[in-house]
């Protein structure tokens, strides 16, 4: 069995060409080319794809975090005013975080994972903001208190209310936000 050898280029006019009769670089010097059992000439390993740099990854994470904060406030306002949990809004939060993180940080799977984790936190924060908006709009609470005051000054009460209202659907909405963030980040980062 013979191994194919690359075509030899004339040395005239090309300083990088191999001279006729000279084996390619990496081939055994004492073995004739083409004999049975001879190792194939070494042409070098294929180049590995370059992953995004740490700076680009960090930039994607920061951009995703900023988008998550904005999306959490909007999601919380929608939940608080609608007085009902809306699953598609949680998916929208995840998709927005994934879009921003993926476009900024690239298609690295780590970017998608970071976007998913940030999205989980954003959906959770949005649900807390929604409860705070409900409390602030309630006639039982002081009329001139804002949802931000409720959230910061009575966080334990808001957290306790969230824990008591937690059900399988709430967990599903949080998970769907994370899945959407990962998927969108990977999709837009590779485009």
What SS3 class is residue 80?
helix
Residue 149 inside a domain? The answer is: yes
6 lies in a domain? Answer: no
Query: Is 181 a domain residue?
Result: yes
d(CA 136, CA 144): 8
H or E segment and range at residue 109: helix 109-137
Residue 20 falls inside a structural domain: no
For residue range 36-80, list pLDDT tens digits in order: 555 565 566 565 555 545 568 888 889 999 999 999 999 888 888
Per-residue pLDDT reduced to its tens digit, 9-27: 555 666 666 666 665 565 5
Residue 70: inside a domain: yes
Q: Write out the residue range of the structural domain in which residue 163 sits.
A: 58-190
In a domain, 147, yes or no: yes
pLDDT tens for 100-116 read: 988 888 777 888 889 99
- Tell me the pTM: 0.66
Rounded to whole angstroms, what are the CA distances from 57 to 51, 93, 188? Answer: 10, 20, 14
The number of domains in the chain is 1
Range in 53-57, 135-139, 166-170 the model is least confident about = 53-57
Quote helix, strand, coil % in the chain, to nearest 5: 60, 0, 40
Residue 88 within a domain? yes
Confidence at residue 106, expressed as pLDDT on a 0 to 100 scale: 79
pLDDT at 159: 82
- Evaluate whether residue 47 is within a structural domain: no
């Amino acid at each position: 069995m013979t191994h194919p050898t690359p075509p030899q280029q004339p040395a005239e006019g090309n300083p990088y060409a191999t001279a006729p009769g000279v084996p390619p670089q990496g081939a055994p010097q004492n073995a004739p080319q083409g004999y049975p059992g001879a190792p194939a000439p070494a042409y070098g390993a294929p180049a590995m794809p370059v992953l995004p740099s740490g700076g680009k990854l960090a930039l994607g994470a920061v951009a995703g975090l900023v988008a998550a904060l904005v999306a959490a406030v909007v999601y919380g306002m929608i939940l608080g005013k609608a007085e009902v949990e809306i699953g598609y809004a949680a998916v929208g939060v995840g998709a927005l975080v994934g879009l921003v993180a993926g476009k900024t940080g690239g298609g690295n799977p780590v970017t998608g994972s970071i976007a998913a984790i940030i999205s989980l936190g954003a959906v959770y924060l949005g649900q807390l903001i929604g409860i705070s908006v409900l409390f602030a709009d309630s006639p039982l609470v002081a009329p001139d208190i804002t949802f931000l005051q409720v959230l910061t000054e009575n966080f334990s009460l808001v957290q306790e209310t969230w824990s008591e209202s937690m059900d399988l659907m709430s967990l599903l909405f949080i998970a769907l936000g994370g899945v959407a963030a990962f998927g969108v980040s990977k999709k837009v980062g590779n485009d």
